[in-house]
Amino acid sequence: MQKYLTIHEAARILHVTPLTLRNWDKNGKLRAYRHPVNNYRVYRLDQIELFLRQLETSKAKKATRKIDVF
């Protein structure tokens, strides 16, 4: 069974504000599902975990970049 998180729970896990999640949803960076009864945004836990892994991978790639300074 899939575990769904409210926008506040997902924001707490990602260390961002709910407004940031709303903007990401609008821009397609992290899509939200809608609750069938009240139409609130909800996020799947596995989707949040995958997004966190992608962020960590992105940070690791940036850390390994070498810049030549002359």
Q: Are 41 and 7 in contact (CB under 8 A)?
A: yes
pLDDT at 44: 95
pLDDT at 63: 67
Residue 61 to residues 35, 49, 54, Cα–Cα distance (Å): 36, 19, 11
For residue 1, which amino acid is it? M
Entry field: residues in the chain? 70
> What do you get for the CA distance between the two ends of the chain, in Å?
56
> Mean pLDDT of residues grouped by 10 in the chain (70 residues)?
91 95 94 94 95 85 69
CATH of 4-57, one of 1.10.580.10, 1.10.1660.10, 1.10.150.20, 3.40.50.300: 1.10.1660.10
pLDDT at 65: 66
Domain boundaries, the chain: 4-57
Q: Are 7 and 18 in contact (CB under 8 A)?
A: yes
> Tokens at residue 61, please?
């790639």
